[in-house]
Amino acid sequence: MMSMMKNTAPTSVAPTDAPIAIGPVEALTHTASQRRQLLVALAALGSAPGLWPARAEAQTVTPVYGSLKGASLGNNAALNGALPFPAGQAFNTDISKAAVDPGSAAIIASIGATASLRPDFGSGTWDGGPIGIPYVVVSGSQAKVTIRFTAYASESEPGPYPVPRTAPIEGGAASSGDRHVIVIDRDNNRLYELYRAFPNADGSWSADCGAVFHLDSLTIRPTAKAGWTSADAAGLPIFPGLVRYDEAMRGAGGIRHALRFTVPRTRKAYVPPATHWSSSNTSTALPPMGARLRLKSTFVIPTTFSNEAKAVLTALKTYGMFVADHGSAFYLSGAPDPRWNNSRLVTELKTVKGSHFDVLTMTGLVKG
């Protein structure tokens, strides 16, 4: 659950217990040891491998692109087959046949060829907050409130935003971390995302920055300019790249969009649809923000894996995942849900290593 840094980045891989930089300034919070503790907590919260129940067969739901009107309402609500953005938008594009970038091997090595894929989400709580990045789906009648931007107002769409007073906050109400707040207006097909968001007594919110995305358009953020950040370091929307239980439970093919993940270091560059870099390092061995990775077709997904793991790994073969932020290597972002089996998901996903991925051709690379 890392967040954006404004054109800053460490120049070398952090040692085991070194803090990982987050935030528009070089604020330091979660350490690598805390990450390991989180994984232990995830495992403890889940069932023991010998007790894993047999899962139902994968379910199929007809996808609806570019319209969220069929989504349920509430915190971490099911979208019922709805997908942000039209079918041709980058998040929804099948890249299973896309070419591999010539610099792929070097970039994978810089992230960590032996590092394991990890879920940065789960069931239960961690440090008093949900495990993952929560969101809320509201109707078009949700009252809009003032948003006071405290850091990057010039790169944020001005309010008001339809943020409920009780909107879930990443990490919980007392969090000192990224405090993302994500709101989906299903009736108007708009996505509102805030970084470092704090509710005020008068019903308004304060946040470092915010972004508004049009879920029914290929021009996903029409008022933004090249170089702008968002609530995410890469300038991307967060919500479309989250792993969600209501999709993952369907098994292979249940997730029909690209995912988002973190890396320890990036270079001073970005690849569209990203719009922002978060580093001063120009080494071509480092990934730019927005780089897209794909799980190699040669990786065999075990038939014994859970529906959720099959869904994630199949999506990584078909749609890939975007470098979206700084954080621990190969940590996938997702939404909290009480139905996640933390132990099983951690056990299954960690069999995937960095060497099992390719970096795809970085078309349109913007260098700093």
Give residue 61's pLDDT.
Answer: 82
Give residue 127's pLDDT.
Answer: 87
Q: Which of helix, strand or coil describes residue 109?
A: helix
237, 281, 239: which is closest to 263 by C-alpha? 281
367 bridge partner residues:
269
- Residue 260 CA to residue 291 CA, distance in Å, equals 10
- Residue 72 CA to residue 78 CA, distance in Å, equals 6
Give residue 59's pLDDT.
Answer: 60
- Longest CA pairwise span in the chain (Å): 55
For helices 32-45 and 342-349, angle between their N-to-C axes, nearest 10 degrees? 120
Give residue 18's pLDDT.
Answer: 32
- Residue 65 CA to residue 259 CA, distance in Å, equals 16
Structure tokens at 202: 């008068």
Q: Which is it for strands 331-333 and 118-120: parallel, antiparallel or unpaired?
A: parallel
Per DSSP, helices labelled H in 157-206 are: none
Q: What is the pLDDT of residues 173-230, one digit of tens each?
A: 999 999 999 999 999 999 999 999 999 999 999 999 999 999 999 999 999 999 999 9
What sign has the CA pseudo-torsion 189, 313, 363, 264? positive
Look up the pTM and report it: 0.87
Per DSSP, helices labelled H in the chain are: 32-45, 104-111, 245-248, 307-318, 342-349
Q: Which of helix, strand or coil describes residue 240?
A: helix
Rg (CA), the chain: 19
Give residue 44's pLDDT.
Answer: 45
Give residue 222's pLDDT.
Answer: 97
* Residue stretches of the chain with pLDDT short of 50: 1-37, 39-41, 43-57
Place of tokens 């749609």: 319
Place of tokens 């950040």: 229
